[in-house]
Each structure stands twice: as C-alpha cells, then as structure tokens.
Structure 1
Amino acid sequence: MRKGTVKQFDSNSAYGFIEDDLTHSSYFVFYKSIKEEGYKKLNVGQRVRYQLAQGKKGLQCINVYVDHD
C-alpha cells in the first residue's frame, strides 16, 4: 500500500486530497473510500495508507486506512 498525508478534507463535501510520500503528488479521495468504522472523515495532517485506482477524472485513492501509530 502507498502512504501519504491528508492535505485537505471537507466533511461537508465528503472529499479531499492526499499527498503521496514518494511522488509528492496529490490524489483525490472520496469519503466512501475510507475504511474506518463510524463517521468517515479525515483530518489535515493525518497519516494514511491507501491504494490508487483510475477514476473518472484520473487516479484517486481507494481503500484508505488511517495510520494509528
């Protein structure tokens, strides 16, 4: 899995962006891709693990897990 940092996440709009550790590129993330229990949101600066998949407008994050370390 890839690792990155949440750069932006708007709970009202239910989407945001994650910056990849290796490429420093930012990728779109939709709240349905977050694999956590309960209310699905991400906080700016939070560390995450994820996979990339082709979306309608380019690569986006899927299977997003928050790093609890």
Structure 2
Amino acid sequence: MRTGTVKQFDTAASYGFIDDDLTHSSYFVYYTAVKEEGYKSLKVGQRVRYQLAQGKKGLQCINVYVEHQDKGVN
C-alpha cells in the first residue's frame, strides 16, 4: 500500500486530497474510500495508507486507512 498525508478534506463536500509520500503528487479521495468504522472523514495532517485506482478524471485513492498512533505505556 502507498502512504501519504491528508492535504485537504472538505467534510461538507465529502472529498479531499492526499499527498503521496513517494511521488509527492496529490490524489483525489472521496469519503466512500475511507475504511473506518462510523462517520467517514479525514483530517488535514493525518497519516494514511491507501491504494490508487483509475477514476473518471484520473488516479484517485481507494481503500484508505488512517494510521493510528499506538497509545501504549513505555
């Protein structure tokens, strides 16, 4: 899977863009691609894992998973 950072996400419009770590390109993401439980949204700066697929207007993110930080005790 690819990794990146959420560059922009408009909750009202239900879409945004993810900056790819490898190519430094931005790719479109629609809320239905987010594989989280409950309300599907992304926050600017969140780290994500995803795949790319051909959409109607070019490559877009699919199967998006938020990388959660472990909250373990040292």
TM-score range, shorter chain: over 0.9
What are the Cα deviations for residues 21-54 of structure 1, in whole angstroms up to 9, with x where unaligned?
0100000000000000000000000000000000
| Equivalent in the alignment of 1:33 | 33
Question: Computing the radius of gyration over CA atoms, which structure comes out larger, 1 or 2?
Answer: 2
Residue identity (%): 80
Alignment of 1:14 onto 2:21:
no
Matching residue's letter, 1:38: G
* Matched position secondary structure for 2:41: coil
- Distance in 2, matches of 1:48 and 1:7, equals 11
- Distance in 2, matches of 1:51 and 1:7, equals 16
In the superposition, the TM-score normalised over structure 2's length comes to 0.92
Total equivalences in the alignment: 69
Query: What is the root-mean-square deviation of aligned Cα atoms in Å?
Result: 0.3
Name stretches of at least 5 consecutive residues in structure 2 with no aligned partner: 70-74
Q: Which runs of 4+ in 1 moved over 2 A?
A: none
| Equivalent in the alignment of 2:64 | 64
